[in-house]
Amino acid sequence: MAISRPTVAQLRAFLALAEHLHFRDAAAALRMSQPALSGSVAALEESLDTRLVERTTRKVLLTPAGERVARRAELVLAELDRLVEEVRAVRGPLVGPLRVGVIPTVAPYLLPVVLPRLSQEFPELELSVHEEQTDHIVAELLAGRLDVVLLALPTPVQGVTEVALYDEDFVLVAPASSDLVGPAEGVPREALSNLDVILLNEGHCLRDQALDVCREVGARAAAATYATSLATLVQLVSGGLGVTLVPETALPVETRRAPNLALHRFKSPAPFRRIGLGYRSTSPRSDEFATLAASIRAAVTALHATATPGVRPV
């Protein structure tokens, strides 16, 4: 029996299933319905005339043939994505589709500043934005499902080229009723050692950065209280449950929504985080991403650099 050629859609569906070993999770990763993904995998098996997966009630297992097809499909799709990227690079900077991943502690504060500028400077850019935590968007980047990511540096894996955009200080946010009073030159980091610091849930890189600052001075986190977003975190502080560290760019948005807060900047050098772009080191679009980085820096400079010393383009 003659073997017909698989389609790109079938290979992408099967590779997602091979990665997640679960139909629902694979379908969610591809943003398609579970029946559609199942149909694509079944069509691939039919075209190759062999079983690629073992379906059980709880999970999916790859057959030996499925493991070989998964390895080959990854190479084929990577080369296909590279071909598309090379063609786009020839057409000019930031023309056509661009899939961007952004972490939740950056997206609400940076995108409203950056998106209007990108729309004006690059009218032929077709931008799609996906907001997820660091580990997820980096995995999507390396899998070829995102082109570039906006996140806190350094990135947690190899194979990603980084382009620094700006540094932003952390600000200590406390209830207005607290007796925390800092000197004119700012609160010393050691003040954290006497406070209950509220953090984001695990998975947020901002949580890890805040923990690093706390560990430097022997401070403790409030073990029973966590939040899934900066908005909730600030509301908890407003309710008197502790203090927290908020990046400078998030302050105007989040403190406007919460009453009864006191903001304390740290004594220099203040703890800070660095925000940047990350893209696959094998991507031929490095010049495009340098152009993107320059546009983002210009937008941040226009909004923050003169009025907010706590944000410094790099």
> Per residue of the chain (314 residues), what is the pLDDT tens digit?
556 789 999 999 999 999 888 888 888 888 889 999 999 999 999 989 899 999 876 778 999 999 999 999 988 988 888 787 777 666 667 888 899 999 999 999 999 999 999 999 999 899 999 999 999 999 999 888 899 999 999 998 999 999 999 999 999 999 988 777 665 678 888 888 888 888 888 777 888 888 888 777 776 666 556 788 899 999 999 988 888 999 999 998 898 878 889 888 898 888 999 999 999 998 888 989 999 999 999 999 887 766 677 888 88
Model pTM above 0.85: no
pLDDT score for 246: 92
Coil, helix or strand at residue 129 = strand
pLDDT score for 147: 93
Which DSSP helix (H) or strand (E) runs through 111?
helix 107-121
pLDDT score for 289: 95
Q: Are 207 and 231 in contact (CB under 8 A)?
A: no
Collect all residues with Cβ–Cβ distance below 8 Å to 208 and sequence separation of at least 6: none
pLDDT score for 297: 94
- Alpha helices by DSSP H, listed for 150-250, are 205-217, 230-238
Show the beta-strand stretches assigned E in the chain: 53-55, 60-62, 96-102, 125-131, 148-153, 160-175, 196-200, 220-227, 244-247, 261-265, 272-280, 311-313
Check whether the bond before 284 is cis (ω within 30° of 0).
no
**C-alpha to C-alpha distance for 276 and 286, rounded to whole angstroms:** 14
Residue with tokens 């080959």, as numbered in its chain: 72
